[in-house]
Structure 1
């Protein structure tokens, strides 16, 4: 309670700083949310969406996207270590398997396991923005968008530029990042490279992470354009306690490659995008780091996909449509050799009833080679009550098929279940958004009823974990958020941003007696997030972030992080960061003890 009061007190204190309120606000409302078919500005969305733009990416005290997402309301980040070595992302009480990650609309799901969902082969310095869609997103993005989706967006620049960032810190931590744009005539191209490593903050927690990302695009004429992307990430790390506390010498090495090519036709009323992409993930896991013969897993998974997405504007509104074909396969010494095929059809309609009411409804039908046809209907209703206030409500269904780890894994502490059936859910939400001048607020209530929930259980501590279709779970939650934000004015002291949010989730479980649950009883219950960004003079920025997190059966914890930037927008800037300033003793995932207070500092070079 004292820590919660401290959070509130710091937030109130931040309001006491005098700030100029007539500065132009950032144009977040005009940003088009990237949903592959019907594209709607952020301000007209009838859903609960959080947008993280470049200034927030640059000023948050974090070394990875995973750490940045931990400050998003309703998002539960379970890190195993620091700097995004490995993290699970849950939304609205959902598990890490129930969130869909995307890169520029490309699905990054891995048929092996959701633990690889955040192996995003893009250096943080090259990300333009991140869109977090909370609630069922199967109708928009397809299967596995069970509780929400996170879409990472990059942009091709029309001007030459080079950004270099380097840093070092506690635990022997160091890193270097390069991101450059080199347009040639009508051809736009970006290249980003990064390398991070650390000796580790505890025994067997060292890591090395490398990323390389290239994208290029050309505008063929007024209506046609091409865009391609190649990316690769290599993550090697000591995995002390990552999957079981019985073996502290666990080790893992993961390589992920991604390639895509797309064509876009943009007419006056007709839009159509075709896309092909391939993703490969190679995973080597050892139970004893220096004894691979004791127990070793080698998995190679491939995903090949073709998509076509379009929209047409008529007197009836905007019609969105799409088709996809997807092939998933795996070769593994543990899981065996398997493959499956998925086909999907999208259809949706946006209708405006006058200037105040709009309805968006649609259906996603999916065929699985293992489970046959499944259908996901959904709809959102929006009412623009005034220029500042928008009310909305939505319903939808979602679906997740088991991963190959769920089905076939064989290990000393975990055993798969080949008889698993897909899990499904029905969701409802109602909320309101208010935006005026430099202020923004949102309040939303949501309900999700899950059936055939896949949960890892065991009868006693001496037995291995095994997934079962046991639980029916009802999630009820409330999310409230308030934000104040203006552009820099160069004042001596200026309050640039204030953020405050509260999330409450109530989970009602129904399971068989005598079974111990592994993940269900660790769902998020209370979450308070606060922060403020203060500008001092023209070049100094001070960002403070606070989190209070309580899960159902775990002890709550409070974290305080800070970052100071000097001349961030200039040619040469410097920064310093501190995490867990309160030196909290806490765990986010499994039995992995997170570090106490730790620091890092570095430089930024911006050339055009």
Structure 2
């Protein structure tokens, strides 16, 4: 039975039984209890995914039993047996045919086919995602969803929230290389009932690989601007119960920008290490991970256009432990985690005598408990989370009662902020033959905001028409606490407001999707209502040195109206006799905002949204195991920016084409990639031009 056949069999033959104690599982679709599907607490509808649109997912591309199958499946498209996976969630797990919200899934096959070196680059091909880079290879990247900013989404690693309370700029510092990622799952729109209230406009979950067989793999690649990257992974599986895996990688580049003195200052160096393990028997499953990420990069004019020799060093560690009982009517999934982030910013590189370095250290401790049970009226899920964020700094926060020493220096952390977020979730699901209604609410309180417990409701509904069509509609609300940078960063022309109010959002969405015989289509409409939205703005006021002053403010009420459409063809299903054409995908996103840029005021994030985004991909099998993938994206950004001479400029539209050619031969793969194939000149942020054509060649081996 192929993966596609297995998916359809379960889709049409499975009937929900609330009193049934066993959990619905796919044996042809890789997943884990910490995946977005599981955390979502709903059945997830899975279709055909194009790497350009990231709108749908094929079952046979998500995970593969052995490393050999990974390369073979990309080259031949054969159905292969996949790891056993539960698609139930920690909050009201439902069956495959009852999903009322859609989740975008980027499979491992799609990751391998994309001409990218980082997760950030990969997300550029999602129509509803805005990726704004400062520097190469994701050195500093802001990722947002549906016209928001990087502070308004939740980023997860294996289902664990790894967002940094200091700033969203460094949210994508992962301890794993892109080659070690099993899949990426994207949920668009408020997800308070799923991830808590920090997921104002959505969430991105990175799921790492856990091969079921003992294996070893390595890769190396090199390219333009002194780029080099290498990594190795080893996995040891003991029977069907124990699994341990260790991976490490390093990446470097000379960069492509120079300071006024002629010095290269967009260079980049990173080192990553990651260990994950698991134990599973008939009664319980336990998983754990520990990782680190160290990064140094020249920040050129990334933070201020006045100084072009900035530099930043970050060091992060990640630890988590998760478990779930597999028997009984009442299912419990506890998790505990600790993430630490250390940051050193240099306004003048290697010159603390000119301006003292900024030091920050953030420790985030969290524990959450989720459970669900069945009864005569349906399926009910409950959840609770306690998350403590503790930051000490040289310039962010309130004065500390006792200064703390900064390791490796003669200085102390003198200010900081400690806040605790508590939230409770209740959700209930009513399931009929073709109709699903899922409703719930989230109650949240944060110690820093000195606010009473607030409640945010949500309701999702889905109706299936025949075998191919699905209609859905939802209403959800959420809030987000300001980052510590937004509250306290008052340095170098910035003036923060420590009395900022949390921003709130309510959203309505409706849409439909179609999937049958290799054709998948989706259309959706949404309306977002922002209250107390937080942003940095300038009204032209200058400081004593003549620099513009940027202030953090609650920007007021803003409404966004948006639509997304996509169309994907899997030619291997439509025309199975031919091999040349593999996939074609197209997607378009449109956003209209009712708050125009006010005369004399410039927004740093809120008003600089993508009004139009068009993405497309074409995947071909040129000859035997030789594949070619071509990706294109067009973007038109609203808003403006101030250049080094304090002159205002509107953002220009641009289109970028990327390509990847690869030879997949059993246990090894060789490839060459070209990013920005035609050398388009463009900026994602004002005053930070992006590189021209970037060529990379690489080799990977799987044993």
- With structure 1 as the length reference, what TM-score do the two structures score? 0.92
1:475 aligned residue: 560
Tell me by how many angstroms 1:378 deviates. Answer: 0.4
Aligned with residue 134 of structure 2, among 64, 80, 86: 80
1:170-201, CA deviations, whole angstroms, 9 ceiling, x for partnerless residues? 00000002122111343111212111000111
Distance 1:42 1:200 in 2: 46
1:526 aligned residue: 612
> Where does structure 2 lack aligned partners over 5 or more consecutive residues?
1-51, 54-75, 259-264, 397-414, 543-547, 640-650
Tell me by how many angstroms 1:23 deviates. Answer: 7.8
1:432 aligned residue: 512
1:588 aligned residue: 684
2:426 aligned residue: 347
Contact 1:455 1:471 in 2 (8 A): no
Moved more, 491-500 or 288-297: 491-500
2:245 aligned residue: 190
1:563-584, CA deviations, whole angstroms, 9 ceiling, x for partnerless residues? 011016x212100000111211
2:185 aligned residue: 131
1:370 aligned residue: 448
Distance 1:237 1:594 in 2: 15
1:120 aligned residue: 174
SS at 1:379 equivalent: strand
Cα 1:491/1:599, change in 2 over 3 Å = farther
1:16 aligned residue: none
Aligned with residue 165 of structure 2, among 86, 96, 111: 111
Note if 1:498 corresponds to 2:584. yes
Note if 1:388 corresponds to 2:468. yes
Contact 2:246 2:273 in 1 (8 A): yes
Contact 1:492 1:537 in 2 (8 A): no
Cα 1:184/1:27, change in 2 over 3 Å = closer
SS at 1:211 equivalent: strand
SS at 1:114 equivalent: coil
Tell me by how many angstroms 1:559 deviates. Answer: 0.4
Note if 1:454 corresponds to 2:454. no
> Where does structure 1 lack aligned partners over 5 or more consecutive residues?
1-9, 12-21
Note if 1:276 corresponds to 2:336. yes
Tell me by how many angstroms 1:515 deviates. Answer: 3.1
Distance 1:400 1:249 in 2: 33
Distance 1:81 1:42 in 2: 41
Distance 2:329 2:662 in 1: 45
1:27-79, CA deviations, whole angstroms, 9 ceiling, x for partnerless residues? 99x98668542334666432232110000011100000000011012100001
2:643 aligned residue: none
Contact 1:365 1:374 in 2 (8 A): yes
Contact 2:98 2:434 in 1 (8 A): no
2:412 aligned residue: none
Aligned with residue 485 of structure 1, among 547, 570, 579: 570
1:3 aligned residue: none
Distance 1:225 1:414 in 2: 49
Cα 1:419/1:268, change in 2 over 3 Å = same
Tell me by how many angstroms 1:310 deviates. Answer: 1.7
1:210 aligned residue: 271
Moved more, 378-387 or 78-87: 78-87
Tell me by how many angstroms 1:157 deviates. Answer: 2.1
2:659 aligned residue: 562
Aligned with residue 633 of structure 2, among 524, 527, 547: 547
Moved more, 266-275 or 338-347: 266-275
Distance 1:180 1:194 in 2: 12
Cα 1:486/1:312, change in 2 over 3 Å = farther
Distance 2:488 2:221 in 1: 42
Contact 2:572 2:579 in 1 (8 A): no
Contact 1:31 1:42 in 2 (8 A): no
Aligned with residue 180 of structure 1, among 234, 238, 246: 234
Note if 1:170 corresponds to 2:224. yes
Q: How many residues align?
A: 584
Aligned with residue 498 of structure 2, among 418, 427, 430: 418
Distance 2:80 2:594 in 1: 40
Aligned with residue 110 of structure 2, among 51, 56, 62: 56
1:222 aligned residue: 282
SS at 1:567 equivalent: strand
Cα 1:199/1:415, change in 2 over 3 Å = same
Note if 1:359 corresponds to 2:437. yes
Tell me by how many angstroms 1:293 deviates. Answer: 3.0
SS at 2:556 equivalent: strand
Contact 1:125 1:179 in 2 (8 A): no
Distance 1:605 1:357 in 2: 47
SS at 1:48 equivalent: coil
2:459 aligned residue: 379
Moved more, 371-380 or 424-433: 371-380
Cα 1:552/1:329, change in 2 over 3 Å = same
Distance 1:31 1:527 in 2: 34
Cα 1:491/1:257, change in 2 over 3 Å = farther
Note if 1:337 corresponds to 2:416. yes
Moved more, 367-376 or 165-174: 367-376
- With structure 2 as the length reference, what TM-score do the two structures score? 0.80
Contact 1:492 1:536 in 2 (8 A): no
Tell me by how many angstroms 1:246 deviates. Answer: 0.9
RMSD of aligned alpha carbons: 2.3
Note if 1:597 corresponds to 2:693. yes
Distance 1:269 1:479 in 2: 40
Contact 2:617 2:631 in 1 (8 A): yes
Distance 2:494 2:395 in 1: 12
Distance 1:176 1:389 in 2: 45
Distance 1:105 1:549 in 2: 31
Distance 2:97 2:311 in 1: 45
Distance 2:653 2:88 in 1: 35
Distance 1:545 1:130 in 2: 18
- What does 1:318-337 correspond to in 2, within 5 Å? 318-335=379-396, 336-337=415-416
Note if 1:404 corresponds to 2:459. no
SS at 2:103 equivalent: strand
Note if 1:265 corresponds to 2:320. no
